[in-house]
Structure 1
């Protein structure tokens, strides 16, 4: 691999009281990753059962800016966790249930064999929406136009939601984002700001279905190395002209399916809030009932035709991350751990056995095996002291 000069790279440590061996192991691990060319920068964050917080950064962004704990990145599919929480809170507020058909709230969605598809099926990737027409390619469309395309989709031929599974990269959660706006009468990002937002640091959204551009969030997020889709290889970012807002790296970056931006510490704060709510503590942006629904496996382990492997889901959450180790997940993930991915560069979740929330961001090369290997190394160094 290409060697990268790490001179000038710095660590940023939020909790010097953490054991020095852990901090040294983190720095050595991150330095190895950068030197080997697996990444140009690493962010990590953890919050332990006793409330201690550790933030760690090493390296730079792709365009050479110093990486800090506050640097925000596209969270891609990790956005789904937030969207699921907002959907469930909005339903509960009005006395509805996730087993109700989405078409009851969005009648335009119910065409082409989708009238019976439920909110729960969309949340657990069992609705089977055939996205093959290429929603990813329509980058110039606003979200209302894209929602019109989603409404015209049909389930896969012969689809059985009680037996089949297929990860929905865009359509399912984008439709659910529209549901949030329909139920609450608020912009999607504004509803997030009023609920989970105060508990998740600087995590935020770019836009919403009413076309409101949240430019402050967009400008704050760097144009990262994975500026195109994950299989694109060496994507080259194009800098905006002086004074212009940075273009968003993903063609669907404003979507409730993939449109969140945040740092590792923001993602860690999200999982800490969900875990505290799951433990019955109110005042974390979601109700305990919502958090418990989310992190409990709901469909059973099934072969997922999109991911090409067996997976189980809660509502917007990958349950039992330890079963994902063949993907290259960290070996230290425990049997009850849960969380989610954003592409392959963002991994965050909660370890109930340790009482710890964690998040990793590897600003890498868009090569999934390499990035997973980097995540494994950082994670093992990060939680090494928790095992004791």
Structure 2
């Protein structure tokens, strides 16, 4: 059985066992954390940080969590809303006047957070993702693909720029700087939107699915017979230095399971973690107020969206390309996070869900 490092409460022995099974089954490396009341009851890792399996995954190894980053960007917006600086029901153009172009004057902030703004695809070259002004100017000029608020279509790359520019217009800081100053810094969380060169040595590069190489791309075609116009993102792009340095707040966050679970514990614990208050209980509840329920016209499957988070029964959270995942259980004041450098296809998210389920017996045991 794979060697698992870290610590865990005896009630949660199924979690490290599940991680070991994934590594024994061929995964390269990963980490899992379960936090309850803002404290770790599981903090484990194992495997390797490189495709050649020569560099062990360490306690402080970082990995690109792709769309799990959306939950961090959403938290920034929710913090601003809780402070009264951002109104989710306001037109985006109130904060970002140029955004009103091309018939977008009726797009509301909550539409950005719930994938209903009608701007789901990135229609420019990959290189423009690395420059904030070029990316946001292109999005400001685009016309919506559908009547905003009338339908949902997953904004895989665009959501971070859209929400992030609103954050920047309000605060004068990039979303990465705001997150570092107002969220990660106060909590002591090792999560980064825009990774500094000093952390490169700790990064576990993404490993493509077995049998595929770094040209493997994220799907960009839309469902419902629509032509997907989005630029496909390759594993090669996600592993580039340019990607790490850029702030792509929907997809370029770097962290480990511990940091993801710590940050999102703010949402699980009514806004306060380890004595640090990020937002109020009412501010947390905004996240799971349903904004859309139905078929996502980009994903081609049923989806429920709150403000920045996917809704799944009584839990909420989101997953990233390749398999990383975070799920929040507000009733149990718990968060389960899994990050990995190993992509799988199909059903990459299934591994994360298995790890989430492995934590449930322990959560039930704590209630007993």
Which residue is 1:60 aligned to? 48
Structure 2: 5+ residue runs without aligned partners?
A: 209-213, 220-231
Superposed CA offset, 1:208-243 (max 9, x none): xxxxxx3334553222215664469995799xxxxx
1:176-215 equivalences under 5 Å are: 176-197=163-184, 198-199=186-187, 201-206=189-194, 214-215=196-197
Q: Do 1:126 and 1:164's aligned partners in 2 also have CA atoms closer than 8 Å?
A: yes
Query: Contact conserved, 1:225 with 1:237, CA < 8 A, in 2?
Result: no
Aligned residue in 2 for 1:102: 92
Normalising by structure 2, what TM-score?
0.82
Contact 2:192 2:253 in 1 (8 A): yes
Higher strand share: 2
What are the within-5 Å matches in structure 2 for residues 156-171 of structure 1? 156=145, 159-171=146-158
Is the 2:168–2:175 contact (alpha carbons within 8 Å) kept by the matching residues of 1? yes
Q: 2:315 aligns with which of 337, 341, 348?
A: 337
2:364 — aligned with what?
387
Mark the CA change 1:348 to 1:153 in structure 2 (over 3 Å): closer, same or farther: same
- Aligned residue pairs total 344
Matches within 5 A, 1:52-131: 52-63=40-51, 64=53, 65-93=55-83, 95-129=85-119, 131=121
Distance 1:60 1:281 in 2: 31
The secondary structure found in structure 2 opposite 1:277 is coil
Change (3 A) 1:152 1:251: farther
Q: In the alignment, which residue of structure 2 is the partner of 1:142?
A: 131
Using the alignment, how far apart are the partners of 1:132 and 1:142 within structure 2?
A: 13
Q: Provide closer, same or farther for how the CA distance between residues 51 and 308 of structure 1 changes in structure 2, counting only shifts above 3 A.
A: same
SS of 1:202's equivalent in the other structure is: coil
Alignment partners' CA distance in 1, 2:85 and 2:129:
37
- CA contact 1:278–1:292 (8 Å) conserved in 2: no
Quick one: structure 1 residues 151 and 279, their matched pair in 2 at CA, closer, same or farther if it must change by over 3 Å? same
* Cα distance change, pair 301–110 in 1 and its aligned pair in 2 (3 A): same
| Residue among 262, 280, 294 paired with 2:287 | 294
Indicate the SS of the match to 2:302.
strand
Q: Distance in 2 between matches of 1:318 and 1:249?
A: 29
CA distance in 1, matches of 2:330, 2:121: 35
**What is the aligned partner in structure 2 of residue 328 from structure 1?**
none
In structure 1, what is the equivalent of residue 31 of structure 2? 43
SS in 1 for 2:241: coil
Secondary structure of 1:109's counterpart equals helix
The structure, 1 or 2, with the larger RCO (C-alpha pairs under 8 Å, 6+ apart) is: 2
1:279 shift after superposition: 8.1
Alignment deviations for residues 9-58 of structure 1 (CA, whole Å, 9 cap, x no partner): 5312224x424xx43x4444333322332x11231100235945211112
- Quick check: 2:32–2:258 contact (8 Å CA) kept in 1? yes
CA deviation profile, 1:256-313 (whole Å, cap 9, x unmatched): 222211100111112212211358997332333322111222x231210111111111
What is residue 206 of structure 2 aligned with on the other side?
224
Q: 1:360 to 1:314 in 2, by over 3 A?
A: same
More helix by share: 2
Q: Which residue of 2 aligns with 1:330?
A: none
Does 28-37 or 346-355 show the bigger shift? 28-37
Give the aligned partner of residue 319 of structure 1: 311
- TM-score, normalised with respect to structure 1: 0.78
SS in 2 for 1:183: helix
Residues 1:361 and 2:328 aligned together: no
Q: Which runs of 4+ in 1 moved over 6 A?
A: 279-282
Specify every segment of 5 or more residues in structure 1 that has no aligned partner in the other structure, as ranges. 1-5, 208-213, 239-245, 321-334
Change in Cα spacing, 1:200 to 1:357, as seen in structure 2 (3 Å) is farther
User: 1:353/1:290 Cα in 2 relative to 1: closer, same or farther (>3 Å)?
Assistant: closer
Task: Give the conservation status (yes or no) of the 8 Å contact 2:118–2:153.
Answer: yes
